[in-house]
Amino acid sequence: MSEDWSKLYDIDLLADSKAEFELLVPLARMSRVPREFVRPGNSVTAKISFAREDRRVVARVGLGGTLTLTCQRCMKPMQWPLATQSSAVLVGTERESDELPPGTETVHAADRRVRLMDLIEEELLLALPLVPMHEGTEGEDATADAGHPVQRPFEQLGELLKRRK
């Protein structure tokens, strides 16, 4: 399996050649991804393209796939679809960053070089849920519909406190 994602690339060459990459990257190869998201078979498809816009190097990063995560409510495996798309200006210095309009997404490319893995990891870290949960479990407990007993030990606490007054 090619590991183009781990090589250092010159960002100017990438932009001038309008380079495009499509890679399948296992999460196990991503050092910055929290270990609780790394499971056998969890990988992302990354599509990365480079171009010049207003004489600046721009990278477009898209990720796709379906990850198996652990629902933090019921602790069972869940399928989590991943589909992201973003772009960022690659800058070699902080001064370049300061010259951009406010709110422009930037990625620092030291010595004007970048690893595709760094772009992929950054995009994935922004996309991963803080607390993975099955859909519909954010409000009412959806596990009750699945036949799991729901325990709410403090549900009547408000009533008890009112009675004490």
Distance, in Å, from the CA atom of 5 to the CA atom of 23, rounded to the nearest integer, reads 8
Rounded to two decimals, the pTM is 0.74
- The mean pLDDT of the chain is 83
Residues of the chain with pLDDT > 90, as a percent, come to 39
The answer to whether residue 90 scores a pLDDT higher than 60 is: yes
Rg (CA), the chain: 22
Lowest mean pLDDT among 22-36, 71-85, 117-131, 138-152: 138-152
Which pLDDT score is estimated for 46? 95
Give the pLDDT mean for 141-148.
45
Lowest-pLDDT range of 1-5, 98-102, 122-126, 131-135: 1-5
Rank 35-39, 57-61, 69-73, 160-164 by mean pLDDT and report only the highest: 57-61
Return all residues near 146 (Cβ < 8 A) that are at least 6 apart. 74
The predicted pLDDT at position 154 comes to: 67
Considering only 34-43, 79-88, 115-124, which range has the smallest mean pLDDT?
34-43
Is the per-residue pLDDT at 136 higher than 80? no
Distances (CA, A) of 95 to 41, 67, 77, 87: 41, 38, 46, 20
Q: What is the pLDDT of residues 15-64, one digit of tens each?
A: 999 999 999 988 888 888 887 778 888 899 999 999 999 899 999 999 99
Q: Which two tokens stand for residue 113?
A: 């070089």
